Amino acid sequence: LAFIKEDKEELCINQDEKQLDLNFSQKYYLEKHMITHTGEMPFSCKECDKSFRLVVYLKAHMKTHKRQKPFYCEECDKSFSLKCLVKSHMIIHMGDKPFSCQECNKSFRRRGELRTHLRIHTGEKPFSCKECDRSFSQKHQYDSHLRTHTEEKTFSCKECDKSFSQKSNLNTHMKTHTGDKPFQCQDCDRSFALKNTLKIHMRIHTGDKPFSCRECNKSFRQRCELKPHMRIHTGEKPFSCKECDTRFHYIHRLQSHMITHTGEKPFPCKECDKSFSRNSTLKIHMRNHTGEKPFSWPQSHTYTLTFTPRSNLESPMNLRDLHKKGKMLLKKYHFS
């Protein structure tokens, strides 16, 4: 873009689109016009996150925050603070879509909707995240993405205590409360409320693990499993214990660690009066009652461990070594 003077008038030139047929009597008006090319919106509303090119637009917008809405729609019960907003709203009732995209067959009610749609064809993504390298073509996508960094979850479920950063995720979650599970797995008897949950479940049967770690050869069934795994490589430990200075890669390890401070043993044995801090410890204990012995030693293999002198065997350190070797062999020939 450039400015030139022609017959004492200010002329706007767009270098990409050659010369525009726009003339201004004063440079002040030209500078105001230039904002339409740069996309700059220096006038921000203090009540919400909207911004505007000109102060006159901001003043008009500020009226929308006032309670007085004297202009009513004759078709429905909506009211507006500005008459022009009623006119814009009426397009919804008329069904008219005068703004058509020349790249595809879609049409839109408003010019702004068409302008936003055109970014799909141009690939323009003007909304860039400062926290990561992602960019977005639409502001609502950008706003939704920002919540992933702030961990803000503004959409709460009325049926349970879960909250979500996006309304679409809340709508999906609400289906779990209806009890309806229309998506059934053809390989087993499990059913699911959501189609995507069935899709993820099917990977158990197919063995598909589409999310691979670039640092090592591990793969995962879900993206949410890959993300915490990456912390092992980055060294990030975002979950810290409030009682001590220990930090963890995974939240479930923090939860498991917290038991060491509380002394809680939430896993009781139904056969006796013992309780355990971890479910895995309870499962091992249950073998005492069931008589289960999952570790089989192959009869076709014999192993001889010789220790000399005898005093070496009786040494606590060597007894621990023997125990460790035995565990390694059991793991190698484990039959479950």
All domains in the chain, ordered by first residue: 2-65 (3.30.160.60)
* Type and span of the H or E element at 113: helix 111-122
Identify the pLDDT of residue 29.
Answer: 61
| CA–CA dist 301, 131 (Å, integer) | 58
Burial class from Cβ neighbours inside 10 Å (0-12, 13-18, 19+) for residue 10 reads buried
Identify the pLDDT of residue 169.
Answer: 81
Identify the pLDDT of residue 219.
Answer: 92
What letter would DSSP give residue 110? Answer: S
Identify the pLDDT of residue 23.
Answer: 52
Identify the pLDDT of residue 12.
Answer: 47
**Contact criterion met (CB below 8 Å) for 105 and 94:** no
Identify the pLDDT of residue 185.
Answer: 92
| CA–CA dist 49, 62 (Å, integer) | 12
* Type and span of the H or E element at 211: strand 211-212
**Mapping DSSP to helix (H, G, I), strand (E, B) and coil, where does residue 239 land?**
strand
- Pairing state of beta strands 155-156 and 163-164? antiparallel
Q: Which two tokens stand for residue 75?
A: 């078709």
Identify the pLDDT of residue 323.
Answer: 58
**Contact criterion met (CB below 8 Å) for 248 and 239:** yes
| CA–CA dist 34, 2 (Å, integer) | 9
Identify the pLDDT of residue 4.
Answer: 40
What letter would DSSP give residue 79? Answer: E
Closest CA to 217 of 229, 202, 206: 229
Identify the pLDDT of residue 284.
Answer: 92
User: What distance lies between CA 217 and its chain's CA centroid?
Assistant: 24
| CA–CA dist 233, 217 (Å, integer) | 12
**Contact criterion met (CB below 8 Å) for 154 and 147:** yes
Q: Which two tokens stand for residue 297?
A: 């030693």
Phi, psi of 211, rounded to the nearest 5 degrees: -105, 105
**Contact criterion met (CB below 8 Å) for 152 and 163:** no
- Number of other residues whose CB lies within 10 A of the CB of residue 255: 11
Question: pLDDT digit of tens for each residue in the chain (336 aa)?
Answer: 444 434 434 444 443 333 444 555 555 566 666 666 666 777 788 777 677 877 777 887 776 666 567 788 877 878 887 788 888 777 777 777 888 899 898 888 778 888 888 988 998 888 888 877 788 888 888 887 877 776 677 788 888 888 887 787 888 888 888 888 888 999 998 998 888 889 999 999 999 999 999 899 899 998 888 888 888 898 888 888 888 889 988 888 888 888 888 888 888 999 999 998 888 889 999 999 998 887 765 555 555 555 544 444 444 445 556 556 565 555 544 443
Residue with tokens 């919106």: 41
Identify the pLDDT of residue 209.
Answer: 92
Closest CA to 110 of 80, 88, 139, 141: 88
Q: Which residues pair with 43 in a beta bridge?
A: 52
R_g of the chain computed on alpha carbons: 33
Q: Which residues pair with 44 in a beta bridge?
A: 51
- H and E: helices and strands count for the chain: 12, 21
